[in-house]
Amino acid sequence: MKKFYFVMALLIVASMILTACGTPAATEAPAATDAPAVTEAPAATEAPAATEAPAEVTQEDCVTEEVFCVGVVTDVGKVNDKSFNQSAWEGALKSQEDGVADLVQFIETADAKDYAKNIGTFGDAGFDVIVTVGFALGEATVAAAATYPDISFIGVDQFQAWEFDEDAANDVANVTGLGFPEDQAGFLVGALAAAMSESHKIGAVCGTDVVPPVWRFGEGYKAGAAYADGLNGTTTEVFVVYHSDVGFDKTFTDPEWGAQTATSMMDQGADAIFGCGGLTGNGAITAAAQAGKYAIGVDADQYLTLPEAAPRMLSSAMKLITPGVADLVAAAKDGSIKPGNFTGLAGYAPYHDLESEVPAEVNAMMEELNAALLDGSVTTNVPPVKP
């Protein structure tokens, strides 16, 4: 038994270390780490959310009318993937903070075959809104919508092929797809990078181009750089590299590859790097920032989520999933949600620390472009899917 006790003792010691470290951290750490996040980014989550809820709300209460419950089913991946799963979950959390939802919960999908089961788990428990994340869940979502007609479904990155009209037979009245014009965000930062580059060489390190949002970011980036060249009379060389040389499971999770690729581009003269593609892109952004070049983030304002790259973060191509989800949840609660497709916001993030380095005329160009893209007077000419 001696060894057994030894193992136990080890575990207990380990637990004490973990909890000992944990307790003070909960109170002290946010000041050190979250400060910017809390003040500037509504996306950042705050711990006390659960405790602020009026009474102990449990899953059993979801069947009742008055308790508003939101369930998030992730794609194969984790809610802490620092990517779309996490953003969607944070959107749900935001709706709880805003007092819209009484209870938010997630289920992480381990394998594609569990999509229906996982959605059904929330459905059977009487949740009011179910957010499913990722295109792959599209069919399972539509199928579940028929089974649970009283529940609102929000499908992140799920383009709904049907147009909502009151009498079409294939309407699914309780599904809303949430999509984003990633090409516009890419276009904006592409133009910015081209305008700011001194070597007239810029790079983008992306996840796999078979994922349409990633491809749209990358192609938008190219188009934006070309557009800026046209305005400024420059010729900018754009390196865009997609991490398509590995299996699908690695393309977004290979920061080391991202860093090496960015370094290689910088060795060849690039002085602005756009990292688009989850953690792979983050690796590139960090490497660019470390090397003192311009770093451009993706999805959220990564000035806030990548502190180690913040000082050199020029901007980010934003695709605001978190507020998009929160808005749709709120709309579902007050009944204003519309089935069909909902286009979320895309744009570029503020320059933050580099504000002073961006010349006024570049800033003016960016503001103009942003407005032009919104009103449609400038188009990116990027098709929605890789041809």
Partner 1 sequence: MQTEKPNSLTSQILQSISNASLIPFLAILTAVILGGIIIKIVGGDPFLAYKGLIQGSLGSAKALSETAIWATPYIFAGLAVALAFKGGLFNIGAEGQLAVGAVFSALIGYGLPEWLGYDLPAIIHLPLAIGVGMLMGGIWAGIVGALKAYTGGHEVINTIMMNYIALNTTSFLLNGVMKDPSPNNVIARTPLIAESARISPLFEGLRVHWGFVLALLVAFLIWWLLNKTTLGFEIRTVGLNPDAAQYAGINVKRTIIVTMLLSGMLAGLAGSIEVTGLNYRHELGFSIGYGYDAIAIALLGKSHPLGIVLSSFLFAAMRNGATRMQFLTQLPVDLISMLQALILLFVAADAIVRYIYRIKSKGERVVLTRGWGG
Partner 2 sequence: MDWRRFGFIALIIIVLFSVVVFIGQVKQPPLLIITSMLATTIAVATPLTLGALSGVFCERAGVVNIGIEGMMLTSAFFGWLGAIYSYHIFGFGNWTSIILGVVFAVITGALMALLHAALSVTFKVDQIIGGTVINILAVGLTGFLNRQLFFGQGSVFGGNVPGSPGVLQTLHIIPLTELFAPICGASEICLRNIQAINRVFDQKPIALAAILLVFISHYILFNTRWGLRTRAVGEHPKAADTVGINVTKMRYANVIIGGMFAGLAGAYFTIESVPSFEPLLTNGRGFISLAAMIFGNWTPIGAWAAALVFGSSQAMLINMQIFRDVIPPQLAFLQESYIVGLTPYILTMFILTGIIGRTTPPAADGVPYEK
Q: Site residues (CB under 8 A) for partner 2?
A: 18, 21-22, 24-26, 29-30, 32-34, 37, 44-50, 78-80, 82, 203, 237, 239, 241-242, 244-246, 249-250, 253-261, 263-265, 267-269, 279, 282-283, 286-287, 290, 306-308, 310
Toward partner 2, which CB reaches closer, 267 or 334? 267
Q: Which is nearer to partner 2, 48 or 387 (CB)?
A: 48
Phi, psi of 75 (to 5 degrees): -75, 175
In the complex, the smallest distance separating the C-beta of residue 15 from partner 1, rounded to whole angstroms, is: 4
Task: Give CA torsion, residues 355, 357, 363, 366, to 10 deg.
Answer: -90
- State the Cα angle at 175 between 320 and 156, rounded to 5°: 25
The distance of closest approach from Cβ of residue 323 to partner 1 in the complex, given in angstroms and rounded to an integer, is: 23
Nearer to partner 2 (CB atom), residue 36 or residue 340 = 36
Contacting positions for partner 1 (CB under 8 A): 1, 3-4, 11, 14-15, 18-19, 59, 76-78, 105-108, 110-114, 117-118, 121-122, 125, 135-136, 159, 161, 208, 210-212, 244-249, 385
Neighbour order of strands in the sheet with 272-276: 237-242, 201-206, 272-276, 294-299, 313-319, 346-348
CB nearer to partner 2: pick between 44 and 272: 44
Are 337 and 152 within 8 A, CB to CB? yes
What does the DSSP 8-state code read for residue 252? T
- Least distance CB 52 / partner 2 (angstroms): 11
| Residue 263 binding partner per list partner 2, partner 1, none, with a CB distance cut-off of 5 to 8 Å that depends on partner kind | partner 2
Alpha-carbon radius of gyration of the chain: 22
From the list partner 2, partner 1, none, partner contacted by residue 232 (C-beta under 5 to 8 A by kind): none
In sequence order, what are the beta bridge partners of 103? 69
Smallest CA-to-CA distance from 366 within 206, 222, 183, 184 is with 184
Closest by CA position to 316, among listed 340, 348, 292: 348
Nearest to 330 by CA among 140, 176, 188, 189: 176
Q: How far is the CB of 104 from partner 2 (least distance, A)?
A: 11
Q: Closest approach of Cβ 30 to partner 2, in Å?
A: 5
321 contacts 85 by C-beta, under 8 angstroms: no
H-helix or E-strand spanning residue 380: none
Q: Select from partner 2, partner 1, none the partner in contact with residue 33, using the beta carbon and a kind-dependent cut-off of 5 to 8 Å.
A: partner 2
Q: Which does 260 bind (CB under 5 to 8 A by kind): partner 1, partner 2, none?
A: partner 2
Task: Report the nearest approach of partner 1 to the CB of residue 118 (Å).
Answer: 6
| CB nearer to partner 2: pick between 232 and 244 | 244
Amino acid at 65: E
Report which DSSP code applies to 61. Answer: G
- Least separation in angstroms between residue 189's CB and partner 2 is 19
Q: Which does 47 bind (CB under 5 to 8 A by kind): partner 2, partner 1, none?
A: partner 2
Pairing of strands 346-348, 313-319: antiparallel
